[in-house]
Structure 1
Amino acid sequence: MNKHKMPLKLNSSRQSFLRGAFGDSFGLMVCAAASIAIAGRLIYFANHGYDFTDEGFYLNLISNPYPYNWSVTEFGYVYHPLFKLFGGSISWLRRANVVVNLGLAWGLTFAVLGGGRSSTPTISNESNWRVAIAAAGIATCVLTFFHTWLLTPNYNSLALQAILITAIGLALHQRATVRAPLLEGLLIGLGGGIAFLAKPTTALALAVAVVLYLIITSRLTLGRLASAFCGALFVVLTAALTIDGSIAAFVERLRVGFYFANLLSDSYSFAKIFRLDTFHLTRQEKIAFVLLTILVVIATLGSLLKTRRSELLAMSVSSTFVSIIAATTLGGLSGGFGETSYLPLLFFAPVLAALVLVFVRRCRGSAPLPTRSDWALALLLVMLPHVFSVGSNRNYWEHGGAAALFWLLAGVVVLAPVVQVSGGWGRAVPMILSVQALTSVILRQAEDHPYRHPGPIAAADHVIEMGATGSRLFLAPSYAAYVESSRAAARSVGLMPGVPVIDLTGQSPGLIFALGAVSIGQAWMIGDYPGSTKLASAALARMRCDDLAAAWLLIEPNGPRSLPDGLVTTFGARASEGYAEVASWFTPAGAGGYAEPRLQILKRPLDISATREACYRLRQRR
């Protein structure tokens, strides 16, 4: 009798094993397909849409960072070689930004998944390809950085990339197969140096967070500290010598930049930079948060238990997530949340689910608890979105949502011990699919409600050549007509690519770039701040008299952000007699975030030599 029962038990065990192995592999293949679909759609539509304010500022600096001898961020110099490499193509510059973010996020996630517990690393128990696919699925969360549809590289993307590099260096110690303090230190220093070039405030906050983490985990060794310092020093010195030719000139650049930032607004004071903000979720977002948490707990727990019924439940919930991904990336399903600022905070749902799963499995006595090192890493990751946000004048929770990947990875670190004793990351497929579903919803939300854009990205169907390089983008019909009419009018009166323009509209850096002109004074002569006029005057005072005298004017009478025409008198020009009105046009609805069209006027300088001489005389007196 026993002889007959034993083969039955073996067959049942084999069937369970084969079912689990096949199910895990199939689930990971679905995750891989979802990753490709989500990233592919974003890359495909990267040549759609354009913002005339922030994005114009980014492109003015990236395409030509050299006219300005002051700055607090050097992202223009960092991304300029990439701009040249792609022949000035905005769409390929955007795609490169997406790929770099995704690649670094995958590297960090792979390091975290590869060693949630240093004593029992996943890599030794699970094949690299399975971990790599799981990491790719979770890493798609980094694409929520583009939740406003600002795909062009900027100081925020550079700050995110810097923190990702630093976090990779910090996470490497979690893998027992990798013990390289010098490599870890170099990555930490490299990331810190790049963070300084992006946002010095973020670099300072990152340095404090990293030191605290290393102290808590007893990893603050002399070798690691020295290599980190050398890595950061190499980045900063290289940048200083490349940008200004000397350390002294670079320091002066930063000094003036910080002075100008405080001149613009007191929101950049120390007390207002290091602050705590609050957030508010809508009723719909709260319901989505609770529902998502419950579904992730049920489905992931079902997958971890490995019974037939639990696996069927996990498969059912996972199918729902797959349907959402398919509907948002391949179908016509919209985000459905309307215009909202805090949607990325829903990534705390998988984090909460991870904590619940650890508690449940621990109560059953079937999983070890995270180590002190794991908790320290999780705490650091939770802090990093705020580190990323330090220095922003936006709400830190809203701004930190662009770095929601770090919140998510905190939950992954905590959940790792449970996953490792349950068969590997293939068992976490339901959670991975939930992350991808939420990412796809947020990106579709971005498509439907892009920042300062008139309507959905899908409606941007007019091909327009932008800038001096003629980069082709798909714009909304009204935006396309605006660029075409203003460019035709400007060309007809002699404004050619490379001609300097002083933008006194306070909000049209994107038009200056589209015309192929050079914005004089600032890459964005920004208006509507308490110190906008003072900053504009101070910035113009640092420009060459030759450029100021030859500069055309773009004005917007009675515009909501307009700067006074009298600013030209600060360098010796005459506000009314020194310029002739030669062209005009109206802005489209939505440009700059304003619904009402506004008149813009282009003025040409009448006597360049007289203005140049007056500028020289004024500066000699000073």
Structure 2
Amino acid sequence: MANINVAVEWESFVLSILGTGSRQRLDCFSNVVARLLPVFSLVTSGAMLAFTIVYSSYGFDLTDEGFYFLWLAEPAAYSIHIPVSFFGFVYHPIYNFLGGDAVALRRVNVLVTFGVTWLLSVVLMRQLLPHSNTKSISFAAMTAGIATTSLTYFALWWLVTPSYNSLTLQGMMLTFTGLAIAINYYSWQRLLGWVCIGVGGWLVFLAKPSTAALLAPAVLACLMASGRRNYLAICGSASLAASLTLACAIAIDGSIRGFFNRVLNSIGMLDLLGSGQEFNKIFRIDNMNLSSREQMIMILIILMIIVGALALRRWFMLSQVFTVSGFFLAPIVVAYLLWPNAPALGFRGVVLFSVPAGAILFIALFEWRELKSLRPMIPLALLLLVAPHIYAFGTNGNYWSHGSAAGFFWVASGLVFLTPLLRQSSDVSLLCALVVLLQGVCAPLLVQAVKAPYRQESFFSDNYVDWNLRDQGNVLVSNGFRDYLAEVRSVVEQAGFAAGNPMIDLTGRSPGLLYDLKARSPGQPWFVGSYSGSDALAIATLNGESCATLANAWLLVEPGGPRSLDESEVTQSFGANLVSDYVLAGSFKTAAGAGGYAERYSQRILKPSRVAQEAIEACERARPSVHQEAP
């Protein structure tokens, strides 16, 4: 009460300085702004979504993205999964439905990600704002704005193509939607929540088993701590996830044992690679590694959250100031997204962690007496707080940086921590202002991702032309990439290479070339280079292929390349000699920036020259313990 009285006294003092009628003028202006702000917020959300969709037609990364596309095109062609994931089987029907059109597939991925996030935002905010009109434009604008913070997933590397990462995020969104419903809703709605938990958990397992292994006990702990100890419903949800997984196992391998062996073999191969994703290396605590700029931005966001929370309490005219700030920032964000030469502000999505940090600090300073009313929501708030790390668990990258792709969960956690305050308010316009300010943080992340996309040139360049990727739809690539891809196609066509022929990529960084050529990569989609076990993994994987396939396989090599495998060692493993058993089909230079390297390297395509039967017999002699027939 003391704080409120002081605020009222200061507000009266300021109004006395501004003169007679200032209250009426200020209230009139604030009312106009409050009515227009939801519309401005919707426009800002639409601009961020449109920006992501438009630039999803740009670029083609030859490494990770090429790997994703090979998995999507033929998931059943591979028995080894590095990393351990089954995302290709989930997205393959969509890939076929869209005819393999890369741009359409990317845009569906963007819309699905945004859609499930919007659903979660609506479910959460209906609980946190029980007195608001959930059918109003203001509510729609606020929840859509919150959902646009999920677009920072694409801002991390600008790999918009569906992958195990996107499926993990989408599955987690669905799981948390179900969790929020199960905790706070009643009757038939709660049943829907349990179904969402089961389906979401199943998707997360298929996408990334390591994340599923953490998510399952975390969700269970949240339910127990929230007092939702409906063991029948919990068992039903778990049974649904298990049933869907078993059905997939039978569909993929014909038996549960076969699927189990596939998982075990993939884990063994992952250990052989030595990429840092081994079991004994994924349990770790990483540093945030904040730059001075990021530290400053995080402090500003914390202050913004505290000021916004005080504005919700109608403290010292802050509600008007905060609303007006959001009102004027919205067109600035839109203009920034439309600006072709917009500067990159140089910070990472990890700064979104300051949203729950600011909310917790506000509760500690101003609302600590309301902790009792917050207690039922604390388990959900804490689970959302650690969700980005659950998402990142198992990767060989920094957990903070990788987890920032799921930075939406930090935003949601901050909002849940503010539950006592939000439940006392019905003014959605103030939350729209807060959302616009958060969009002012997220929009620069999208812009700098497009200015410096993963292992490619800036998309803001005029140096982009159409390329008919795999003859299944155009993507925009740089002139250098277009010339590179066109030269490779010309070489293989003149050499007599046919779609569906096997080709072994020993460059360690060019699965995208194989995808564009419609080649089949024996063993696995990408023989990734530069790791201590890259050669050993390639040999072990190819040992599982039939000798008939390897006898007819072409080679893509890059002597002296930055990630090249040992061509001689790998080919000797199936009885081939790199010099005497292949002829040069053609050579070419990589595009500048291909695979993340500015230097242009020489690559060659080698065509098998031996009689097929002779090559098969040599392969069988090289590995006498393995006798396989052509599939």
TM-score over 0.5 (shorter chain): yes
Compare 448-457 and 29-38 and name the one that shifted more.
448-457
Match of 2:431, SS state, is helix
Shift of 1:16: 9.7
* Distance of 1:428 and 1:585 partners within structure 2: 56
- Is 2:267 the partner of 1:258? yes
C-alpha contact (below 8 Å) 2:249/2:259 kept by paired residues: yes
Give runs of aligned pairs for residues 169-208 of structure 1, distance below 5 A: 169-176=178-185, 180-208=189-217
- Structure 1 residue aligned with 2:7: none
- Structure 1 residue aligned with 2:228: 219
- Structure 2 residue aligned with 1:537: 539
Give runs of aligned pairs for residues 262-281 of structure 1, distance below 5 A: 262-265=271-274, 267-281=276-290
Match of 2:555, SS state, is strand
- Structure 1 residue aligned with 2:350: 345
C-alpha contact (below 8 Å) 1:358/1:418 kept by paired residues: no
For 1:111, the aligned partner's letter is: V
Compare 262-271 and 82-91 and name the one that shifted more.
262-271
Shift of 1:204: 0.3
Give runs of aligned pairs for residues 70-109 of structure 1, distance below 5 A: 70-71=80-81, 72-109=84-121
C-alpha contact (below 8 Å) 1:299/1:317 kept by paired residues: no
* Distance of 2:24 and 2:251 partners within structure 1: 63
Distance 1:214 1:187, change over 3 A: same
- Is 2:151 the partner of 1:143? yes
C-alpha contact (below 8 Å) 1:448/1:457 kept by paired residues: yes
* Distance of 1:222 and 1:291 partners within structure 2: 44
- Structure 2 residue aligned with 1:392: 395
Match of 2:583, SS state, is strand
For 1:216, the aligned partner's letter is: A
Compare 154-163 and 62-71 and name the one that shifted more.
62-71
- Structure 1 residue aligned with 2:447: 444
* Distance of 2:298 and 2:342 partners within structure 1: 18
- Is 2:113 the partner of 1:113? no
* Distance of 1:319 and 1:349 partners within structure 2: 23
Aligned counterpart in structure 1 of residue 614 of structure 2, from 607, 610, 615: 610
CA displacement 1:448-490 (0-9 Å, x = unmatched): 11111123454452111112x4321101121111111111122
TM-score by length of 2: 0.90
- Is 2:177 the partner of 1:168? yes
For 1:610, the aligned partner's letter is: E
- Is 2:321 the partner of 1:318? no
C-alpha contact (below 8 Å) 1:450/1:456 kept by paired residues: yes
C-alpha contact (below 8 Å) 2:152/2:445 kept by paired residues: yes
Match of 1:558, SS state, is coil
Which consecutive aligned stretches of 4+ in structure 1 deviate over 6 angstroms post-superposition? 11-21
* Distance of 2:44 and 2:35 partners within structure 1: 14
Count residues in correspondence: 601
CA displacement 1:288-310 (0-9 Å, x = unmatched): 22223334433553365187x43
Distance 1:128 1:222, change over 3 A: farther
Once superposed, what is the RMSD of the aligned Cα atoms?
2.5
- Structure 2 residue aligned with 1:558: 560
Distance 1:550 1:386, change over 3 A: same
User: Identity of paired residues, percent?
Assistant: 33
* Distance of 1:189 and 1:25 partners within structure 2: 40
- Is 2:421 the partner of 1:418? yes
- Structure 1 residue aligned with 2:140: 132
- Structure 1 residue aligned with 2:69: 59
Shift of 1:38: 0.5
- Is 2:360 the partner of 1:355? yes
* Distance of 2:134 and 2:52 partners within structure 1: 31
- Structure 2 residue aligned with 1:466: 469
C-alpha contact (below 8 Å) 1:163/1:192 kept by paired residues: yes
Match of 2:577, SS state, is coil
CA displacement 1:408-441 (0-9 Å, x = unmatched): 1000111233123122433212210012111211
Give runs of aligned pairs for residues 393-542 of structure 1, distance below 5 A: 393-459=396-462, 461-467=464-470, 469-542=471-544
Distance 1:323 1:354, change over 3 A: farther
- Is 2:585 the partner of 1:570? no
Match of 1:475, SS state, is strand
Distance 1:317 1:332, change over 3 A: farther
- Structure 1 residue aligned with 2:56: 46
- Structure 2 residue aligned with 1:332: 340
- Structure 2 residue aligned with 1:6: none
* Distance of 1:299 and 1:230 partners within structure 2: 43
- Structure 1 residue aligned with 2:588: 585
Shift of 1:546: 2.0
- Structure 1 residue aligned with 2:378: 375
Match of 1:114, SS state, is helix
Shift of 1:79: 0.9
Residue ranges of structure 2 left out of the alignment (5+ in a row): 1-20, 627-631
For 1:236, the aligned partner's letter is: T
* Distance of 1:178 and 1:458 partners within structure 2: 55
